[in-house]
Chain A
Amino acid sequence: MNTVTLTGLGKSYGRTPALSAVDLDLAPGITGLLGPNGAGKTTLLRILATALAADSGTVQILGADPTTTDGRVAVRRRLGYVPQETGFPRGFTAFAFVDYLAILKEWTEVSARHDEVRRVVDLVGLTDVATKRVSALSGGQRRRVVLAQALLGRPDLLVLDEPTTGLDPAQRGRLRDVLGRAGETSTVIISTHQTEDVAALCERVVVIDGGRILFDGTVADLVAQAADRVWMASERDPAAQHAWRTGSGRFRNVGDPPPSAELIEPDLEDAYLLLVGDAARETELEAAS
């Protein structure tokens, strides 16, 4: 059953289109959203989080229409959101900040609220620093504070805009565990530049560029598109779209391989680079013709 249905979604900032005729359905589970900077990921997530209204198209989130006041409130009661960037009010401890957001999520009964705040603070591994002021926390810890508030009340829809930014590998591992559990019952959409997070967590991946969806399918399907297009060589291949020197001293080339190339198994990052690169080339060709 779909929890989110977007049809013909459009959004522009002045004359700059951010999203063009986006159709997207989401169901419980974890969906990764990949795309280059300026692709429209954050705009899409802000619309899903009811922080932004679309210019055109229809939006149904958790059975409600967020263009109406009642619909927005209904969505927000079941939403957890991690924005790309956020500030913190002065003077709040980590616990107090999450507690404040819990009140904004209508947890008015004090003991139940505090229990819930302790639960989510513990989930993201911040119990030890819960009484520290947010201003004294590291970037990664602050990011986890924001993540903690998103988990309040086990929301039915989790919208996460680059949640792993600033997290160390151990923290990212913990986050994957938390999100993996959330995805068992809730609809989770994660925008990230970390393809390994998507590969590790998501059953579905959506690639967006120039405000349009380039790919919507399983991670395996996207990776399969890169089959026979990744090879190792002792030199950087001029035919490759992307090439870089690996730790072994050899070059990993991504693109259209020459005959007798030493093909290797592609990963999600290879597939993503090829998809976006091919799309850019097609756009250039269309513009030239």
Chain B
Amino acid sequence: MSAVISSRHDALSADARSTVGALARVEAKRFARHPLFLFGVAIMLIPMGAVVWQQKLDANPMTGTLFIAFLFGVFGFIVAHRLTTSLLRTRDLAGTTPVGRQQRTLALCLACLVPAAAGGVVAIFMLVTAAIWTPVGDPVTAHVAWFRDDPAIDVLATLIAMGPVAALGGPLLGVAVARWAPFRGSALIGVVTLVFLTALPSEASNPWRLLSPWPILVDEYVNDGEGPIVRSNFVPGVEPIWVLFYLLCLCGLAVVAALVRDPGHRRPLLGAGAALTIGTVGFFLLALS
């Protein structure tokens, strides 16, 4: 009997990591093919195409990252929420398979790398086009809101924090919200809350704005007092690299929140959650120091 059983299961692998990997690939495909994500990509291609067509860059980094945060972060929140809740429909079936719900949720979290990667591509596009075609600025105000001689680490941290990480954090939050509040209206409530929290401290220079899910790190159109040319300026007293780590900790907390909903491995998850909470507070304070 046992020989029969083992021969039947030769092709099976109990390796949980490869199972999560296989599930994540399925979820990533579902994410990438979701109409709302594709709509976001299509909208994103319009300004990118315009830059290439005109062969000049007169936008500022704020605009590009705002597109990423909205089209991949906010839209991604909805997509991730929909993917998560739609899988809950099969709970009777999926609940009787050897792969646990936590592994399925983790796969959904990994699928959120799809919008993050899309945001990363756009951020790279911004860097490359800014290097090829030096931003010329607004012809009337002569404003050029692009980084000039700022430290590369700050520029990169800012672009990553406001771009790909925003595109990662929104969908991760969508998974977490769907796991805890899997009812139909929770996506709308989540999106409204997300946008409200982002828009609440309207002053970009307000350091408490860093607490929002999409902290604005650059204060555009700041005249440096040495002529008509102005450049993008970092919000005074803010260290972008620590903000990046702060946001990554928030992303980690979203993953923990999504995973801890299900039974199993709760103790290490709560430990990770505590460490991430300490990291979140610590990096926030460092960002302001």
Q: Do A and B come from one complex?
A: yes
> CB within 8 Å of B: which residues of A?
1, 49-51, 69, 73, 76-79, 81, 83, 85-91, 96, 99-101, 103-110, 112-113, 116, 146, 149, 153-154, 156, 185
Query: Judging by beta carbons under 8 Å apart, are B23 and A77 in contact?
Result: no
Q: How far is the CA of A202 from the CA of B34 in the complex (A)?
A: 45
Q: List residues of B whose CB falls within 8 A of some A CB.
A: 1, 4-5, 8-9, 11-15, 18-19, 21-23, 26, 30, 33-34, 82-83, 86-87, 89-90, 92-99, 104, 264
Q: Measured between alpha carbons, how far is A91 from B33 in the docked complex, in Å?
A: 9
Classify the interface of chain A: helix, strand, loop or mixed. loop
Chain A residues whose C-beta falls within 8 Å of the C-beta of B90 in the assembled complex: 86-89
Residue among B12, B19, B96 making CB contact with A51, cutoff 8 Å: B96
Query: A112 CA to B95 CA in the complex, in Å?
Result: 23
Q: A103-B26, A109-B11 are in contact. Are A89 and B86 (CB under 8 A)?
A: yes
Minimal beta-carbon separation of A284 from chain B (angstroms): 35
Complex: A184 Cα to B104 Cα, angstroms: 34
A79 touches B89 (CB 8 A): no
State the Cβ distance, A85 to closest chain B Cβ, in Å: 8
Are A108's CB and B96's CB within 8 A? no
Q: Which residues of A contact B33 (CB under 8 A)?
A: 91
Q: Which one of B9, B14, B22, B86 has the highest number of Cβ atoms from chain A below 10 Å of its Cβ?
A: B22
The winner among B4, B9, B90, B95 for most chain A CB atoms within 10 A is B90
Which residues of chain B come closer than 8 Å to A79, judged between CB atoms?
96
Q: How far is the CA of A185 from the CA of B4 in the complex (A)?
A: 10
- A78 vs B4: C-alpha distance when bound (angstroms): 12
A77 and B26 contact, CB distance less than 8 A = no
Q: Which of A1, A90, A112 contacts B86 (CB 8 A)?
A: A90
- Chain A residues contacting B82 (CB-CB under 8 Å) are 90
- 4 closest A-B pairs by CB: A87-B89, A104-B97, A89-B86, A112-B11
Knowing A86-B90, A108-B18 touch, does A76 contact B96 (C-beta < 8 A)?
yes
Question: How far apart are the CA atoms of A215 and B49 in the complex, in Å?
Answer: 74
Cβ–Cβ < 8 Å partners of A112 in chain B: 11
